[in-house]
Amino acid sequence: MRVGLFGGTFDPPHLGHLVTAVNVRQALKLDLVILMVANDPWQKNETREVACAADRLAMVQAAIHGVEGLVAGDDEIKRGGPSFTTDTLTTLSAKYPDAQLFTIVGDDAAAKFGTWQRAGEIAKQSTLVVVDRPGSPLVPPSEFVWNRVEVPRLEVSSTDLRARFVDGRPLDYLISAGVLEVIADRGLYGVPKS
């Protein structure tokens, strides 16, 4: 079995995440790509308020609903505390004992890979996969082996989507309809509860 771990804050999940997940899955012949929702994104939570983990998980579940081979991961939420990828890979290797694991990241995340907790462990536990995002090329640390997969470069980010909620600009097509429903149901990002 070949299992991809695509971790993120997913605040909110968007088309860039989904297009990346399905294309990496096809390119590397992965059985599953797990969109793993960070419980406590420790590199982010000091700088801004992050939607609660349960809401972000509900949005990812809606995003992947009906998409073959994509799974919403709640292992980091179940574990609690700060989310370290190396711990998640340990959990996944127990869950999928014979699986080859792949850690999938965008180039912005890959460029900061050296700051991740026990990055060397992650590189031993899994095959590292990087996809380019639009913008200036970001170089992942060269002491690790990176497998680059070409995916459509979509200039979509959760940061831009959160700004769109604030400004009242459209989110249609950037985010799946099911995710917009969860946002309205739960009254996230300042959207009045439906």
Three-state secondary-structure class, residue 172:
strand
Size of the site for ligand ATP (CB under 6 A): 18
Q: Identify the residue among 3, 4, 5, 8 touching ligand ATP (CB under 6 A).
A: 8
Three-state secondary-structure class, residue 146:
strand
The C-alpha atoms of residue 77 and residue 4 are separated, in whole angstroms, by: 18
Q: x/- site string to ligand ATP, residues 140 to 159, per CB under 6 A?
A: --------------x-xxxx
* DSSP, residue by residue, 33-77: EEEEEPSB-TTTTTTS----HHHHHHHHHHHHTT-TTEEEE-HHH
Query: Min. distance of Cβ 39 from ligand ATP in angstroms?
Result: 13
- Does the footprint of ligand ATP cover residue 64 (CB under 6 A)? no
Cβ contact 151:131 at 8 Å = yes
Residue ranges in 84-143 that form contacts with ligand ATP under rule CB under 6 A: 105-106, 108-109, 131, 133
Cβ contact 35:72 at 8 Å = yes
Stretch that binds ligand ATP, among 6-14, 26-34, 58-66, 137-145 (CB under 6 A): 6-14
The residue among 10 and 116 lying less far from ligand ATP, judged by its C-beta, is 10
Q: Which two tokens stand for residue 89?
A: 């890979």
- Does the footprint of ligand ATP cover residue 52 (CB under 6 A)? no
Question: Rule CB under 6 A: which residues touch ligand ATP?
Answer: 8-11, 16-17, 20, 105-106, 108-109, 131, 133, 154, 156-159
